[in-house]
Amino acid sequence: MAHVDRMFQHRGAVTGLRAQGDALWFTTRHAEGHATALYRLDLDKVEQKAYPLPCGGLDLDPDGDDLLVTAENGQIYRLRAGEAALAPIGPALSPAGTALAVLSKGRLGVLRGALLSIVSAADGAVLQDLELPEAGTAIVADPTGHWIAVGTAGGKLCAFDDEDKERFLGGEAVKAHEGAVTTLCFEPGELRVLSAGVDNKLLSTHLRGRLEPEDRGGGAAHDGPVRGIAIGAEEHSDRRFYTAGDDGVLKAWPLGAGRKRPTTTKDWIAKSVGLIVVKYKARPALALALLDGSIRILLMD
């Protein structure tokens, strides 16, 4: 992998990272509670633009061409494609949503402490409150928006779905990790979720039916908590998924079942708080959000 460095300024630590084509979007949170922004990096033109927030942004997720952001003040904001400012959706939530995922039928899944709230993306109305066994720390929805996986502060993995139903219902919850779940990611093509936690484990769990986490990392797992998981570009014949975190290395894992060993990269890598696959000048690349506040783009060979 080659790397590209460009200098931009942003306020606070990166809290969320998403991609839309060759645009990289991220939110930040300031340690002293100062106002931040939703930031957009145009990787083709190498330009940055900020959309101000009155407080810290906690997470974001694309909704078609729009962006949705949850913030420290409990408000959910929408940035419509082509518009110059974020607009609040409905009343502020209390407690505030710490993470969100776009779901089917114009809904959002929002983590609010020990609640998973199903919220209307149109007017911010809370449609459902689903109880979690403990505070939620990570959320992900499958590409259809009908399945949700939630990780908790105590290491539990919880499944929810609305297949053939009008509302989301909770399925099984299983103790998957020793300590907080740090990140979740659906594997392509099936209802299987990759999860990582502060116990340094990397697990794979099929959500339909009984939850039975499988050890995906084995002896090749990271030496610190994984903070981000990203699925590689579809055009690659040898498609992989990538992990990065506190140990300052990047691992590339073959997709599929079993304990297939990864390749490990240490050059140009540092402690990471998240990663995402993005396009850089029409080429697939990895964007790593680093603990020092920088974002590094790695071109994928």
Answering whether pTM is above 0.75, one says yes
Query: Is 11 within 8 Å of 54 (Cβ atoms)?
Result: no
Three-class secondary structure of residue 69 per DSSP: strand
Name the pairing type of β-strands 263-265 and 87-89.
unpaired
Asked if the peptide bond before residue 95 counts as cis, ω within 30 degrees of 0, the response is yes
For residues 220 and 235, what is the distance between their CA atoms, to the nearest angstrom? 26
For residues 138 and 33, what is the distance between their CA atoms, to the nearest angstrom? 22
**Averaged pLDDT, groups of 10, the chain, 301 residues long:** 62 91 91 94 88 97 96 97 94 96 97 98 97 97 97 98 93 94 94 96 94 92 95 77 95 81 87 92 88 85 68
How big is the chain by its Cα radius of gyration, in Å? Answer: 18
The 10s digit of each residue's pLDDT in 30-89 is 989 899 999 999 988 888 999 999 999 999 999 999 999 999 999 999 999 989 999 999
What are the beta bridge partners of residue 62?
67
For residues 148 and 269, what is the distance between their CA atoms, to the nearest angstrom? 31
